[in-house]
Structure 1
Amino acid sequence: MVKQFHITITSLFLFSMASFVVILGSFTLKLLVSEGSSSCYPRLNRFSSPLTTSPYSYILCNFAFLSSPPHPHFNSSSEPKTPPVPNDNDTRPHSVTDDRELMRRAVSILETSCNPTPKVAFMFLSRGSLPLAPLWEKFFMGHEGLYSIYIHTSPEFIDEPPTTSVFYKRKIPSKPVHWGTASMVDAERRLLANALLDCANQRFVLLSEACIPLFNFTTVYNYLIKSRQSFIGSFDDPRVTGRGRITR
């Protein structure tokens, strides 16, 4: 009798878990493919005051958010020390592959006179295509001119999304990256240096291919632009994939 009871309880538990997985999968699929739904990103006034919650509420993943001070203003009669920064709508990739030259150009941009509409640079560190691109497409829709996108992928990855995608030709010259090594830091610096080439970029968000936005673009943009702090998310992972891989 007791054995039969245990079997019944176990069966009910497994059935409940299976139902939960099916429901969760259906909801996720509906969220990814639904068109015109506003429930995922509630519309807010563009100039509404920033919320008081943490910026971590807006991007679901571990990321670094860096704020930069406004670029210095110089007398309008002075000539810029570098050529004008290309318009962000120009999707032609640059050919700078040397990291030192890239960093030099990024630093020199800070010395130019620039006072455009501030943009948020979204910097994706990915192995290949972005599996959650449909969500990001909806996130960016209708907000052209307020954001920049940079993607660092494996050098072997040559596929391009459709020309109508916000990710079309947004890949930067990249080099091989191995998880948990200094090459990841080099890739992140490469992303940041590319973002600094556009003096309109005032806030910088580092993202992985697993990150998703939780609120609409207006909410995220207002909070980040009005913030004067930098945020770094991290946690101690003792497993072999984290701190446990290091031996003394």
Structure 2
Amino acid sequence: MSDKELMWLASMVPNIEKYPYNWTRKVAFMFLTRGKLPLGPLWEKFFKGHRGLYSIYLHTSPEFTEEPPESSVFYKCRIPSKQVEWGQATMVDAKRRLLANALLDFSNERFVLLSETCIPLFNFTTINNYLINSNHSFVGSIDDPRKMGCGRYNKRMWPTISLSDWRKGNQWFEVHRKLAVEIVSRITPFLKTIASLHVIWMSTTWQPL
């Protein structure tokens, strides 16, 4: 399946709000990683005993083919992936690819983007209950007036992106399903504008979501 086909499928929204079957709302944990998760054992303990309440998706480098044992929570969780370059539009493509795959499961209500070095600060029950019962999404965003903040804005981004919309933040986020659909279905023109500007993003600063 091509990325275009995947995004099209993932952007579909049911017109009937009430589901015709009993279901459990789940949190989708989406890992953007180069290869094997160095903190995998910690995450194994985090997920232990909570099967059915979460989904896991891994986007790795295409050349990474190692599969964890069947007993692992990460077994068969890797999605079809493409090469990612830090600070390039391919990073955003990978995020959308993870979101799109997670959206195909209608039980997924919350979507968490994680790196290979992220760790949980609380146990699964605490995090799950907080996210499932929240009405908000969580995205890092800082209005930085300095040269390394608003000074990096390029006027050629207008009108797709105005200076008042330009923010500093890292790429990791947690969003609800409605916003996840928006990211998957509406970000393509935005990406084309960004890619044409050859903006250099630092690893700790600017990334479009």
Aligned-partner Cα distance in 2 for 1:111–1:122: 26
Q: How many residues align?
A: 149
Secondary structure, aligned partner of 1:150: strand
Relative distance call for 1:223 and 1:154 in structure 2 (3 A) is same
| Amino acid aligned to 1:120 | V
Other-structure match for 1:132: 39
Relative distance call for 1:230 and 1:155 in structure 2 (3 A) is same
Residues 192-239 of structure 1, C-alpha deviations (whole Å, 9 max, x = no match): 00000000000000000010011100000000001000110256795x
Other-structure match for 1:161: 68
Give runs of aligned pairs for residues 57-68 of structure 1, distance below 5 A: none
Aligned-partner Cα distance in 2 for 1:218–1:212: 15
TM-score, normalised by the number of residues in structure 1: 0.56
The answer to which structure, 1 or 2, has the higher relative contact order (CA under 8 A, 6+ apart) is 1
Relative distance call for 1:138 and 1:244 in structure 2 (3 A) is closer
1:194 to 101, 106, 121: 101
Relative distance call for 1:230 and 1:243 in structure 2 (3 A) is closer
| Amino acid aligned to 1:182 | A
Is there any run of 5+ residues in structure 1 with no aligned partner, and where? Answer: 1-95
Aligned-partner Cα distance in 2 for 1:130–1:234: 27
Secondary structure, aligned partner of 1:131: coil
Higher Rg of the two aligned structures = 1
Other-structure match for 1:104: 8
Structure 1 runs of 4+ off > 3 angstroms? Answer: 109-115, 234-238, 240-245
Question: 2:146 aligned with 1:146, yes or no?
Answer: no
Residues 80-135 of structure 1, C-alpha deviations (whole Å, 9 max, x = no match): xxxxxxxxxxxxxxxx2x11100111123645763511000000000001000000
| Amino acid aligned to 1:104 | W
> After the TM superposition, which of the residue ranges 101-110 and 161-170 deviates more from structure 2?
101-110
Question: 2:139 aligned with 1:232, yes or no?
Answer: yes
Identical aligned residues as a percent: 66
Aligned-partner Cα distance in 2 for 1:139–1:154: 24
TM-score, normalised by the number of residues in structure 2: 0.65
Relative distance call for 1:167 and 1:109 in structure 2 (3 A) is farther
Secondary structure, aligned partner of 2:129: helix
Is there any run of 5+ residues in structure 2 with no aligned partner, and where? Answer: 149-200
| Amino acid aligned to 2:127 | V
